[in-house]
Amino acid sequence: MSSSRTFLSQMESFQTSEHGPVVVFSPHYDDAVFSCGELLSSLSLGTVITIYTGVPDNKQMRTDWDMRCGFSNADQAMRQRAFENETALADLQAEAIDLGFLDSQYLEEPRRGAELLADITSLNLEKIKPYSVFFPIGLFHEDHIHASDMLLTICNRFPDILWFVYEEIPYRNKQERVLARITNLVERGFALEHFATCKSVRNKMSAVNAYKSQFRGLGYEDGEPILLQEEKYWRLHCYLDLP
């Protein structure tokens, strides 16, 4: 097992262009900034790839979550979320790529197209050629688990990439969720080591506060409950494909 000193040395190398860019996968528009804002703030070459950014064909669709966030329909919700994300990533000086797949709340039948998502993700990685990739460990939310499992299936295709998973904020606030997911990954043949990142709160606060519509849905007055949760990462060793 590598030491924390080695991990910190790796973190320092992320802050330069010497090894190439760092990619952070975000299931929804807010997840990368909520969970990895300090990391993104420290990078000189950071790219956030957000997966579920599409607008359903029925743009007037009304869902419980969107209404809780203060929106009257899906089109309004996704347009505002895209604007909030653009604002947040500008604060962090991170590049943005949207894949355009549908959030599970907009699906009218079971999710399909896992292979298509994996192929599009692989094409983006081949184009960007990142030094390292961070993606959600897969806590609680259906979309988070789906995104995590997809990336777990393709990480073996890219042996030159350093792979990491992050614990999603706010879902990591219940440790039993985290422990259950880690146990699940280990049972599936993956190895994880705790990864200590350098603390850097520069710009994270303003970036988090860009997602005001999400605060309404979560029942928060502001971004403080998000900022109070520590960012946590694991180095992922992709030994085996998923069964």
Give the pair of three-digit tokens for residue 212: 């005001």
- Average pLDDT in the chain: 87
Q: Please give the domain boundaries of the chain with CATH numbers for all domains.
A: 4-237 (3.40.50.10320)
Is 34 in contact with 208 (CB distance < 8 Å)? yes
pLDDT digits (tens, 9 = 90+) for 133-156: 999 999 989 999 999 999 999 999
For the chain, what is the HEC assignment? CCCHHHHHHHHHHHCCCCCCCEEEEECCCCHHHHHHHHHHHCCCCEEEEECCCCCCCCCCCCCHHHHHCCCCCHHHHHHHHHHHHHHHHHHHCCEEEECCCCCHHHCCCCCCCHHHHHHHHHHHHHHHCCCEEEEECCCCCHHHHHHHHHHHHHHHHCCCCEEEEECCCCHHHCHHHHHHHHHHHHHCCCEEEEECCCCCCCCHHHHHCCCHHHHHHHCCCCCHHHHCCCCCEEEEECCCCCC
Mean pLDDT across the stretch 75-101? 96
Most confident of 1-10, 76-85, 172-181, 220-229: 76-85
Q: How confident is the model at residue 42 (pLDDT cuts 50, 70, 90)?
A: confident
Length of the chain, in residues: 243
Nearest-angstrom CA–CA distance, 42 and 133: 15
Nearest-angstrom CA–CA distance, 210 and 128: 27
Mean pLDDT across the stretch 100-116? 83
Determine the pLDDT at residue 10: 52
Nearest-angstrom CA–CA distance, 107 and 166: 26
Is 14 in contact with 43 (CB distance < 8 Å)? yes
Determine the pLDDT at residue 219: 87
Beta bridge mates, 193: 235
Mean pLDDT across the stretch 211-223? 89
Q: Is the previous residue joined to 170 through a cis bond, with omega within 30 degrees of 0? A: yes
